[in-house]
Chain A
């Protein structure tokens, strides 16, 4: 942290040199945050990009929906802000951003070249196909179910219900459906399918199978990030994440409750 005496008010005459550095560093931080990083990771990557591109001083403010950075070179300084989009999880993008940060920190890349690399990462970083994700999520929820005590007869229905729920969730998110509404809809569908499947398979753990079928919706990374952020000195961001996690859980539980009521009324389960 610089002494307050050393900070110089913003000099608009310096903007042409500082502007690209600030915006490229902010975009790197935004992309990392949207890929599921904690506040400290965002703080570090913005500092690496800005310093690698020539900044002497970097100060970052991290909010839930925006980032603001002040960078300085010599006596000149500039402050810029950038909106942050939906906070998802994309670890391959996270990894690629850190590789790029290491290249930038070694020097030799201009802001324009770095911008081109960021654009390439945003568009070219591969994602698993919808079917691979559905199968993987189905297996994960089935394993979760076993950990919770679902019997083997209920494990197959949990696999199918969670896999179908993941396919539907991906489709809904692609259509920009609100994440909370999406959590309720997927929870309702998956719990209903998991409960019906477990009933038809003569499982003795129908209720647990219904819960296991919706565990794909539990926001594990945001909940751990929330606490990390608070522990690492970002209580406002951590609190905002915690509230979001709580609301997602409430909406998911509402879908589960609806599924349970429907099964109880229709099939007496």
Chain B
């Protein structure tokens, strides 16, 4: 079953008198429960694609279907509801609330989900049980990103969108974070979409979409995705 479907999607931005196509008539689909990597260099349109899946931006043309609903037709309020119930986000720069401690940051997300998971359990699951009362400023980059994953999972949404989740981390920490992400996605059966420019991450994905200049260069199924520890970083 397709969790996400892009049908002839175009996204154009007006900058001054110029029009720039960030995404140009792309179509693809993503199966539920698989890890998909959208790969591409800077400015390729991968983040725009993620924004369109996440309901943070609107298409100029085409249709985006998520979990059977055509979200490209949604109103602003419905899009918010869609993000609230169906999408978990992992940001490149964590975007945790600095004034809330680790537990409160995760618990905040729990309150948004329709069938949320226990916040403490989630924090434990990402290995931060000793950091519950710590504030983001007191944690390392790897810990912050694990906490961010716990926050995204806690909502128990069907889809996890990860924007360069290892982009701000060193390779060891990045690897550790990806391990957690892979493990968690498997355990909780989530559809995970990772946007990255790091080709190594693609080796762990079951579906790889390579984008360049707003168009899909390659979309292939990886029959034998590697576990994160198997990848040479």
Asked if A and B are interacting partners, one says: no
A interface residues (Cβ-Cβ under 8 A, vs B): none
| B interface list, Cβ under 8 A from A | none
